[in-house]
Amino acid sequence: MKKIIYLASIILGLSACSESIQPTRNPAFGGEKITKTDSTWKSELSPDEYAVLREKATEAPYTGEYDQLWDTGTYVCKACGLELFKSTSKFDAGCGWPSFYEGIDKKNIREVRDTSHGMNRIEIQCARCSGHLGHVFDDGPGEEGVRYCVNSLSLGFKKR
């Protein structure tokens, strides 16, 4: 788990988060939910992927495979393959994690209030498997002004 830093990277890397952001009501996910035992997840994911996706860890900033990937394609949930973000919505936020200003479908990303580590944030999860993806902040460039800050370890990439 060399790339995983729990508290330190969260506090240092996300210290600019806004406490005013509120979770939005996401439309209900219309597909079949995926539920697996911890032992099954552990057998399907690497230890680092498991720590992020199932235990809500955070990879160290600027270490992720997709932070500076600018290829054209689609980012999917590493655990279940649900399509989450198009490469066209990715931007360089300078925060050390892949950042997107919109998801492919609001139904695919669930927002959950997160008050861990003494912070007030909105966690984002895969709506199909409940895998931890990262957090959403209200400082993005798109129409809605959001920045989905995502761990590379929670993503897969389908190159177009």
CA distances (Å), 87 to each of 3, 21, 36, 103, 157, in order?
24, 25, 29, 10, 9
Mapping DSSP to helix (H, G, I), strand (E, B) and coil, where does residue 20 land?
Answer: coil
Using an 8 Å Cβ cutoff, are 151 and 97 in contact? Answer: yes
User: What are the residue numbers of the active site?
Assistant: 149
What residues have CB less than 8 Å from 150, skipping those under 6 apart? 75, 84, 85, 97, 98, 99, 100, 124, 133, 134
Tokens of 126: 């895969």
Q: Judge residue 128's burial from the number of C-beta atoms within 10 Å of its C-beta, 0-12 exposed, 13-18 middle, 19 or more buried.
A: buried
